[in-house]
Structure 1
């Protein structure tokens, strides 16, 4: 037994000696919580009583909707589209090859495979299967769900595979040889946890994981990042950085620039607050000078990109800046070397970027719709930008690139236009695109059109929204209408091809509304920051304003209007219907936050306090109680019949939120249906069959309530 083990043994002995009083204290705390919340037992994720509750509700819900005459037709439409033989495989670009993860009726867990660019252009690409996840799950008797792979550079000969049990965020990390298509014997392997693992070099990893008691933040993420060398036990890894328990997470990573590796680490203090360091070639840590709420992007031609989320010096929030890497050792003086790569306007903001060997392809949101631009750098400080022509009135985007060449992948879509994938070469002076694949049309869009409107929120702010509808729609208030929104974490709601929803909803006369509420990123960081913490209620006022505007225009009426949202969007729906139940006939709440007085104590909840505030702060508690759905439920209100869905395996947003909300609705005699997928994670579903059921339940419910 080494010294550390002896120390742990002694500490354990001390803890055991105080076990009785500690257990009594925990029991008293539990009794206190139960007196305040009689449904606290539903927070026990895998507790038998809680699972029995879920299974009992599932039985009622499935029986009801499967007996609906419309269910079989809706399910059939979803099945035909989700399992269509002509589905376009979504691909990523790595080292000149195209990779795809594919699920179908035969391969429910999926195949990880690759093909060449030339082969992908053909009607029937020749795929090389790298990993059969169904076969692996069967041989290992594990419920594996694919969570991705990270390549070892520069050789691209090995990957770190991320595999989840049942779809959870927590993963097992295992080293895999791409040449032999097998796991490396005695290779890197990290037990199940919410792990971040990155290659430092071919024989070293940066690892943030669960190292044992006290090694996680209050949010449940890695607090300690270590450097782990091949051939040594994980327990011997050397600590690189430690965050505090109240921070969100810590991680380290490697970025390549002009073929050379550069190492960084960061402590994420909150969702939009970080401190970053650069490890110079000698191994010295240098803190990167920047505002804490500014985000670092990638490296390009010796420059580190930094996006501002607040005004800084003479630069506006939303500006993308370049900081020469060779200047950062100067501390704050290095900020005199900042160069503007992109400057925002009131409606124009940068969303993301792809890095090629010699160019930067930026994706720019212009009044919510996106366009691409090519940026060329000439030392020491010239950034030339030119527009790239791809699509109109929709979403043109670069979504992957090869940093060792100038090749990149782009896509175009809108509500009524199937996604097309294009191949681009940034070295092409004429900026031409080659069409690789065009996804098939899944519904008749010839009778449909898209309109854009604005609603006025309670504080006078104009809230834009999209409406997809029949060209001959009558403004008589009788159109079945589905309003969807999110409104949080600077995540933009943008047009995308409606595919199956177009078939089961729009083609049959349903109106679809996509809202651009504050809290999202549609108009840059300030659009998000306007509704944080004590101003959170304004998001729900925005959502209500859109609903009222739809009714005022005659598009729909309370008897024909439904709202829907998931995760933070589930909170949006829960808050909206408890504030204004009179506006809606139906509501779909998926994988939601609903008990906002306890969200920070459940799973990853503490990481969202920058967004919602800390309920333990009396002032914030008062602000949260204005909208927290679980607390707002009243036996005296008349709520729309509600459909609530979640997943047992969701280890990000606790399923207890959904369970407790449903239990309280039932206690108060409100109409509600509940479905809990026993696996699936925060996505709700782990395979296509589960997605078909999930979506069929939602659509059957909508037509039942709104027709």
Structure 2
């Protein structure tokens, strides 16, 4: 799930589980509501039983151990892109994980050596050593180093991978945590440097300080050398808000501090600090996303039309008048065509960078102000029909680092200049023979006539219908884009590579609800129109059948989080079409979702099930309520984490219990740690990859529909 914020008090909402369980049982008579008790003895006993049955069945597969070893070797391979986390003056940072450093090394290298492709790394924090010394499994959640000297950093570390983390101040010049420095206890907090001795902090301040969604409702200013309890209030939101937070943007050497109040998942208001710390409203629509400042111009992306500017455009306002309390007129920076979608916007000191999808194919633009007050464009000389990810920017040299890949092209890191010239910094060796694989883009026709794109990979020379594996998401504006077949987006590593090598068909579907064609592609599947996303998925599956690539019942659907909801809907609505389903960290009980952990933050996407009118359309697809006695469903593989503090593990548990109770086979694997990402290191990810491979072979290829 796309988070509005990634921090809250650990397991927020767990303390309230008991009354919630009583209320849920009284209102709905749900016989499996006890599985929502995250750490309950009875619930964990059921989880342990299901885990043991699944492990016994799938680890007995002749390919399991070989697959697990191969998956881990691929993930741990030293030949991996050293993705730049942040460019800080003349150095670049990176988080590195391999077989010897499962938790990771946070390290830095000189910018010049990095650009030359021969980085000279210096370790800043060894997370494995820190975890051992503190007897805690620390998972990296990032570093915020204060510009322009970057000497002091706020380090966020999660125990076990949950969204909640601790924040500690780090001295880069001394290479250690600051004695008596800023430190926040474990929570889903939002923290911003105001200056070297002041932080803006949103966290759990005690009773009533969190929103209904479980995020910070109160933002305070905290001065160095004072207790956290003495911090003074800057802004308070309403309990119904998603969160109140802050962030800072550099424009050259000038720092602008912003305060935000997210009133729903897709609406927020923003203020910039003016003279004396006064908060001045930013005159952009509450549906727009703020994306940076360049040469005194504040940039925003429009999710809805604004006057003469259409949705999907990038516009700008002069920031100086805004900081003085004025509301200047906006100007157009970039407007996409109907087949284009802006994926991300970044700035360096004198250039705007727009990562664009053009009919779901990546394109990177560099825009610089021209003499006529407009913007001159340069198209980066990057490979065509590939996926582009912006990693970090070198502000002073107007350069960005971008990683480019596709199903068959391994990741390559480029340094791209504002003139569009791109130099390869690092390219990974191939993990398989791409010359033996065909990659195609097709378009399926959905129920309402909409053309839905999907990407397909299969081995050359395979003419007979094969088993198909479809991965999709369909929500929260998140476009699904092709990545190398060893690193697919459902946290299953090389499963797609193995699948294609066996002669099967792998598909990535660009169903509505994502951002593949801009805001309209997302909005068309919101709330009461959610069924359109699922109809798009069925259209893709049926298009594969019509093309003779597969047959009904030989199709696996895969999705995680919101995609897990999609896969759950697919199983319950079309058990005739799908023969298997891989469902990770899912939302499934849509009657209860808004009362569980961060669920209330997603009502702008799905609706409010407590409102009768909303429940009328939600109940039509809610998977947990859709499971019926007497219907035979395909065997499902659930994977999740006990410590997922974003999507409640009770969703997967209850769905599994109900399916089993009605006589359906279920495979189930819940890690104790790992948070929403499920699995805290490569070893755990490799186990899951091997389990999924064994599950697909057993259920879809061999047709074994028995219980594990």
Q: Taking structure 1 as the reference length, what is the TM-score of the superposition?
A: 0.93
The correspondence of residues 118-517 of structure 1 with structure 2, limited to 5 A, is: 118-120=112-114, 125-328=119-322, 334=328, 337-378=329-370, 381-426=373-418, 429=419, 431-474=420-463, 476-477=464-465, 479-499=466-486, 500-517=494-511
Q: Please list the CA deviations of residues 105-145 of structure 1 after superposition, one character each: whole Å capped at 9, or x if unmatched.
A: 22222211122244446787432111111111121122211
Change (3 A) 1:327 1:26: closer
In the other structure, the counterpart of 1:665 is: 659
Change (3 A) 1:118 1:299: closer
2:23 corresponds, among 29, 32, 35, to 29
Query: Greater CA deviation, 593-602 or 299-308?
Result: 299-308
Structure 1 residue 311, shift from structure 2 partner: 1.6
Alignment partner of 1:79 is 2:85? no
Q: Give the distance between the partners of 1:332 and 1:608, measured in 2 at CA.
A: 33
Q: Give the distance between the partners of 1:343 and 1:23, measured in 2 at CA.
A: 47
Alignment partner of 1:524 is 2:525? no
SS of the aligned residue for 1:582 comes to coil
Change (3 A) 1:662 1:688: same
Contact 1:645 1:676 in 2 (8 A): yes
Q: Taking structure 2 as the reference length, what is the TM-score of the superposition?
A: 0.93
Larger radius of gyration: 1
Q: Please list the CA deviations of residues 411-452 of structure 1 after superposition, one character each: whole Å capped at 9, or x if unmatched.
A: 2211100010112333xx5x3222111011111211101111
Contact 2:553 2:576 in 1 (8 A): no
Contact 1:371 1:397 in 2 (8 A): no
RMSD: 2.0
Q: Give the distance between the partners of 1:639 and 1:331, measured in 2 at CA.
A: 60
Query: Greater CA deviation, 678-687 or 495-504?
Result: 495-504
Alignment partner of 1:652 is 2:646? yes
Q: Give the distance between the partners of 1:308 and 1:583, measured in 2 at CA.
A: 38
Unaligned segments of structure 2, at least 5 residues: 1-15, 487-493, 702-708
SS of the aligned residue for 1:216 comes to coil
Contact 1:77 1:503 in 2 (8 A): no
In the other structure, the counterpart of 1:9 is: none
The correspondence of residues 505-654 of structure 1 with structure 2, limited to 5 A, is: 505-654=499-648
Aligned residues: 678
Structure 1 residue 26, shift from structure 2 partner: 7.6
Q: Give the distance between the partners of 1:487 and 1:54, measured in 2 at CA.
A: 29
Structure 1 residue 53, shift from structure 2 partner: 1.3
In the other structure, the counterpart of 1:65 is: 58
Alignment partner of 1:54 is 2:35? no
Contact 2:69 2:686 in 1 (8 A): no
In the other structure, the counterpart of 1:13 is: none
SS of the aligned residue for 2:513 comes to coil
Alignment partner of 1:112 is 2:106? yes
Contact 2:640 2:669 in 1 (8 A): yes
SS of the aligned residue for 2:449 comes to coil
Contact 1:264 1:277 in 2 (8 A): yes
Q: Give the distance between the partners of 2:104 and 2:228, measured in 1 at CA.
A: 30
Contact 1:591 1:653 in 2 (8 A): yes
Query: Greater CA deviation, 669-678 or 109-118?
Result: 109-118
In the other structure, the counterpart of 1:683 is: 677
Give the structure, 1 or 2, with the largest relative contact order (CA under 8 Å, sep 6 or more): 2
Contact 2:117 2:425 in 1 (8 A): no
Contact 2:291 2:346 in 1 (8 A): no
Query: Greater CA deviation, 689-698 or 86-95?
Result: 86-95
Change (3 A) 1:23 1:169: closer
2:38 corresponds, among 35, 45, 64, to 45
Q: Please list the CA deviations of residues 76-106 of structure 1 after superposition, one character each: whole Å capped at 9, or x if unmatched.
A: 3212212223233322341232222122222
2:91 corresponds, among 97, 103, 127, to 97
Q: Please list the CA deviations of residues 376-400 of structure 1 after superposition, one character each: whole Å capped at 9, or x if unmatched.
A: 1247832222222111111234331
Contact 2:591 2:622 in 1 (8 A): yes
Contact 1:406 1:425 in 2 (8 A): yes
In the other structure, the counterpart of 1:18 is: none
Change (3 A) 1:367 1:37: same
Structure 1 residue 502, shift from structure 2 partner: 4.7
Contact 2:513 2:522 in 1 (8 A): yes
SS of the aligned residue for 2:337 comes to coil
Unaligned segments of structure 1, at least 5 residues: 1-21
Q: Please list the CA deviations of residues 471-512 of structure 1 after superposition, one character each: whole Å capped at 9, or x if unmatched.
A: 2231x43x1210000000000011111122453222221211
Q: Please list the CA deviations of residues 199-228 of structure 1 after superposition, one character each: whole Å capped at 9, or x if unmatched.
A: 111111110000001000011100011111
Q: Give the distance between the partners of 2:260 and 2:370, measured in 1 at CA.
A: 29
Contact 2:362 2:384 in 1 (8 A): no
Q: Give the distance between the partners of 1:484 and 1:546, measured in 2 at CA.
A: 11
Query: Greater CA deviation, 465-474 or 171-180?
Result: 465-474
Q: Give the distance between the partners of 1:595 and 1:699, measured in 2 at CA.
A: 27
